[in-house]
Amino acid sequence: MENYRSFAVQHLLPHFGQQPITDITVSAIEDFIEAKRAPGGAVRRQGKALADSSLKTGLLTLRLILKRAARRGLIPVNPMGDVEWRSAPRIENVDPFTGRELRAIVCAAERVEPDFATLLRLWAQAGCRAGEITGLQWQDVDLATGVVKIRRTWSRQRLGPTKTRQERDVSILHPILDDTVEWRPGVTETARTVLQGLRRLTVRSLEPETFVFQRKGQPVSSMEVHRAWRRTLLAAQVRYRMPEQLRHTFASTMLSRNAPLLYVQHAGGWRSASVLLRTYARWLPQPSATQAQPATVHGAVGTPSNAR
């Protein structure tokens, strides 16, 4: 609702607000789309085009407005049904960190801000979304087992459900920072360091509903995270990527080590295995030449002998 309202105020009203509803024709809407996709179409980023993802949400808002107008008899038919446009395919910017880079980042954070180093370790080793990390409360953390319960997200200065609206239990002990072929949680001492960091946080309340990573009782903001992140990467001398690449690093690392697909999907909270594969399939181990040979029967190519 907040997205719809924002688009109506920032884009629809300035463009269509002074026009009679009958003037909002198919061609008028397509002109609007073209204007928004051109440089200057965005409001927050001066001189930039509006992203297709934002435009798609906004056009749904316009569709609902015109649908209401048609139902009230203000226009004969909703013109959105004849609008021709196709959004650009979504491209995930997946650029994961290497183990060496991750270790350099965490070491730099330890020198600059140890609490932030713990946040980064947890984020990389659990593979959660940013809002799920900042929304963690102490009642969600089991320090004995190294498991956290992901049940909420912190976004736009308030708590809400996870993206899929489902809760999940996730280990924070996956050895993502280690040079190993193992993926199982807790197999290395380095992975367990995150538990020590949680116990040593500067502010740690005994109240169960207190946020794990907080400032004055509120979860750390995305602005604070990004500022600390920039400082940390600069100190680590690691090429800059957005902190969300920690989640991409988790997925690509786990899959490359042969972790079960459904396990990784559950841990990261992806809606389905197919959603996960669309982005990370290239990190799956490729079968060797001998494994890739088709089954033979008496020297001829055929079905496996145990096929039914």
One domain for residues 135 and 70 = no
One domain for residues 127 and 250 = yes
Domain contains 90: no
One domain for residues 124 and 49 = no
- Strands (DSSP E) along 87-183, which ranges? 141-142, 147-150, 153-155, 158-160, 168-171
Q: What are the DSSP calls for 215-263, one per residue?
A: ETTEEPPHHHHHHHHHHHHHHHT-----TTHHHHHHHHHHHHTT--HHH
Res 295: pLDDT: 41
Domain contains 180: yes
As a whole number of Å, the end-to-end CA separation of the chain is 53
One domain for residues 77 and 111 = no
Res 57: pLDDT: 85
One domain for residues 105 and 250 = yes
Res 301: pLDDT: 36
Domain contains 235: yes
One domain for residues 73 and 109 = no
Tally of domains in the chain? 2
One domain for residues 233 and 181 = yes
The pair phi, psi for residue 59, each rounded to 5°, is: -70, -30
Q: What is the DSSP letter of 197?
A: H
Distance CA 29, CA 163 (A): 31
Domain contains 24: yes
Write the CATH number for 206: 1.10.443.10
Q: Final residue of a domain: which of 40, 57, 82?
A: 82
Domain contains 121: yes
Domain contains 22: yes
pTM: 0.75
Range of 111's domain? Answer: 99-283
Distance CA 253, CA 241 (A): 17
One domain for residues 38 and 77 = yes
One domain for residues 78 and 116 = no
Of all residues in the chain, what percent are helix, strand and coil, respectively (each to 5)?
A: 45, 10, 45
Taking only the tens of pLDDT, the chain with its 308 residues reads 888 899 999 999 999 989 999 999 999 999 999 999 999 888 888 888 998 888 988 899 999 999 999 999 999 999 998 888 877 666 668 999 999 999 999 999 999 899 999 999 999 999 999 999 999 999 999 999 999 999 999 987 889 999 899 999 999 999 999 999 999 999 999 999 999 999 999 888 788 999 999 988 899 999 999 999 999 999 999 999 999 999 999 999 999 999 999 999 999 999 999 999 999 999 999 876 555 454 433 333 333 334 33
Answer for the pair 124, 250: CB distance below 8 angstroms, yes or no. yes
One domain for residues 60 and 209 = no
